[in-house]
Amino acid sequence: MSAVAERILRVLEELASTPEGKTLSELSAKLDLPVSATHRLLADLVEQGYVRKDERRGEFSLTMKLPSLGLRFLSAGGVVDVAQPILERLAATSGELVRLAIVDGEQLIYVAKAQGARQGIRYDPEMGRAVTLSCSAAGMIWLAGKSDEDAIRLVSNQGFGMPSDFGPLAPTTFKALLPMIELARKNGYATTQDMFLPAMSSMAAPVHLSNGEVRAILIIAGPMSRLTEERMQELAPALIATATELSDASGVSPMLKQALQGASRTASAEH
């Protein structure tokens, strides 16, 4: 990748994490780039319609052009058409946020969601982002399908992150994390409370290929006041049944099929 392309992607990624916008000097300092180089990159992105500048405050922010490309990609691939109705049903059953994350190489990426009994896709700050493996139910159930050695490697590559960014019970060592992964192996699904975010719960189940390999993760998340341990136990059969339905649906969705099978071929080639 060229240096210019890498810098452009870094600018886009930083702005995607700060929807309120950043000034030229803030971006320059954050990305450790000269002000002049940062200004040239921003000028090109503004010209192409990916970034806008608030002239009054001097802040740069993303336009909807980049998110629209992602949504168009998902729609063309069939994720919205095929997966969304399935997610909506589970959201209506649970009354909570339901997410789908697909395996992309050595990470999980949120690609779709449904909220409660409401219809349609709405903006979610986590959409398109990588799942934090060490303190999320999605990460734990994905790691449960791997050896401890591979789980340690994947979490080491991503890192535990800063404890202040997560809930108070988020594990920060492998000694704390590995028993949680083992429990997820035993149960067939994972649950977390007060880990990914303070006072929040989540539960997740794997979406399998026909050969048993995990290629996507189905998640339910909500406040601990509603999504208690008892409530998660009640919802576990519906979560697992919906994950199975998504596995079956991959046969009619081009993107789901590609996502669930393409990474499997890559893994097989590597071994």
Q: Is 11 helix (H, G, I), strand (E, B) or coil?
A: helix
pLDDT at 250: 64
Domain covering 67-270 assigned CATH 1.10.357.10 in the classification: no
Mean pLDDT, rounded, for 234-244: 95
**Mean pLDDT score of the chain, rounded to an integer?**
83
pLDDT at 81: 60
pLDDT classification of 178: cutoffs 50, 70, 90: very high
pLDDT above 90 covers what percent of the chain?
54
Q: How far is CA 260 from CA 85, 205, 266, in A?
A: 19, 15, 11
Longest dimension (CA), the chain: 57
Q: How far is CA 68 from CA 76, 95, 102, 195, in A?
A: 12, 28, 19, 31
pLDDT at 239 over 90: yes
**Domain ranges within the chain, ordered by starting residue:** 3-63, 67-270
90-101 CB burial, b ≥16 within 10 A, e <16? bbebbebbbbbb
Minimal CA–CA distance to 165: which of 126, 202, 135? Answer: 135
Q: pLDDT of 29-47, one tens digit each? A: 999 999 999 999 999 999 9
- Alpha carbon distance 252, 31 (integer Å): 42
CATH number of 3-63: 1.10.10.10
Same fold, 3-63 and 67-270: no
* Better-scored residue on pLDDT, 101 or 68: 101
Instruction: Decide: 121 and 84 in contact? Cβ < 8 Å.
Output: yes
In order, the DSSP letters of 214-227 are EEEEEEEEEETTTS
Q: How far is CA 205 from CA 74, 130, 132, 269, in A?
A: 22, 17, 16, 26
pLDDT classification of 80: cutoffs 50, 70, 90: low
